[in-house]
Structure 1
């Protein structure tokens, strides 16, 4: 490992290459497929993922029960052992419920929890801050904040993040704010580990000091995305840029096709005969034409 890679690893508390893992369901009944989850998790780790983020948006957390969330964390921990970190999504619109999920995830074996901004009720910034502090105080594991105002309706304002960075348990941010300037300012002024939550920003955020990424597209091409970071750490910035650009078509197809990433990823995994299964309503499966386009882009990106 180069000096740059070693110093980077020291500032990436959960690893550099994290996958926002889908939650496999059975084809017939749509039940939780723990065998499939274990197989998928093992593949992702074997192909370069340092960590797995479970029960997030990509993992269809709005439609899984608390018991299913806990069972998934426990099963994946069993499958990957200590070969990868596990970050469990526990965010809800209810502070008490979020605390309950955080405690359950910790007991099930999670290394950290991912806490999204409370959504729908649109709390003001002092309430957002108090929500995160309450969860961080209650849990015995580190906290990764999730800033995605396009889904929640409320962002975590930079001043709020500056204050939250002083909490010893709040160590990281999954950044989907699309405010690259704010991310750079916070990287300069705090010790928060910043993870790109939008795949098109993986290299850009890493290049200015980010810790790595939490990637939906990594469900499909974990090794290809990991190679971007490895090239950058090796000092070959031109190769890192080439590899990021090589993945751009697939990233766009998966994340910008007018369908949620969960739908497109599961469709492509199913087409590749990998664990996935159906999405749960209100989500609907991708049309056949979309699946064919995804397959074309997947194969083209592998040979670009």
Structure 2
């Protein structure tokens, strides 16, 4: 029962950073400008207030204001998926309802972290959140941060819920992802940029990308080439992005830090990160910029 429909949130989604002012306040004008830029450069959708969006250090009110501002900027030209995951089911429900009121098209719900609930509690958490609004839900499986997998058997059961429609996969379990893709109609999205093409080739819907903050057109070109049947070009473009992917995601700094460092150098809205994160050192930012400049020109 492999997923074969139109991607519920589009194919090329950016896990957008949350721009801040120099003093650390929420920069809504910057968010509007960055959102419009990302959509113009090839993003079908924007995921707000996720890990890259520094959700642990933004308030509920800031997150709702961000949704409204980005919706104003992109209109109906892109989907908006709001990160609402917290370790508290009641809080997650409230954020889901607030996201719906603010104009989101869907919600990204991460596994409850720190408390490490067993699988029956994980399943109950997601079901309660999915029942709390009319918004479609994207499960977010990232055990390296949460400490808890959404086990494949749990995902299979959750796939029966009418509003649970997608998965952002950062499990690094490629076998399990293929098994669930084959057995359900869930739209799988690669959450780790090095897997964008690999998962897409076996039936995923697309990606939710941190690297797309800086290179939206280049990453979309990978999917476009694959869809056109030019798998050799798709593979070449994916490989060409690997130095930037590695610099942004595997060089010892969080993606929010590297994305903001690169965007600031490129003259795009970003601003500082909030503590406990710290800005990238100049030499790290130089390396990011060098990797970025080696990318082939995008074709959107």
TM-score by length of 1: 0.96
**8 Å Cα contact 2:213-2:259 kept in structure 1:** yes
Please list every run of at least 4 consecutive aligned residues from structure 1 whose deviation after the TM superposition is greater than 3 angstroms.
none
Shift of 1:248: 0.5
Question: Could you tell me which of 126, 147, 157 is aligned with 2:151?
Answer: 157
The whole-number CA distance in structure 2 between the counterparts of 1:160 and 1:109 is: 29
Matches within 5 A, 1:200-239: 200-239=194-233
| Structure 1 residue 15 corresponds to structure 2 residue 10 | yes
Aligned to 1:68: 62
Over residues 180-235 of structure 1, what are the superposed CA-to-partner deviations in whole Å (9 max), with x where a residue is unaligned? 00000001100000000000000000000000000000000100000000000000
Shift of 1:11: 3.3
**8 Å Cα contact 2:218-2:297 kept in structure 1:** no
Change over 3 Å in CA distance of 1:202–1:268 after alignment to 2: same
The whole-number CA distance in structure 2 between the counterparts of 1:232 and 1:117 is: 31
The whole-number CA distance in structure 2 between the counterparts of 1:303 and 1:274 is: 18
Shift of 1:303: 6.7
The size of the alignment, in residue pairs, is 296
**8 Å Cα contact 2:197-2:234 kept in structure 1:** yes
Shift of 1:140: 1.1
Matches within 5 A, 1:1-304: 10-27=5-22, 29-302=23-296
Shift of 1:301: 2.2
Shift of 1:75: 0.3
The whole-number CA distance in structure 1 between the counterparts of 2:33 and 2:24 is: 17
Structure 1 residue runs of 5 or longer lacking an equivalent are 1-6
3-state SS of paired residue (1:45): helix
TM-score by length of 2: 0.97
The whole-number CA distance in structure 2 between the counterparts of 1:17 and 1:201 is: 13
The whole-number CA distance in structure 2 between the counterparts of 1:294 and 1:188 is: 37
**8 Å Cα contact 2:34-2:269 kept in structure 1:** yes
Shift of 1:139: 1.3
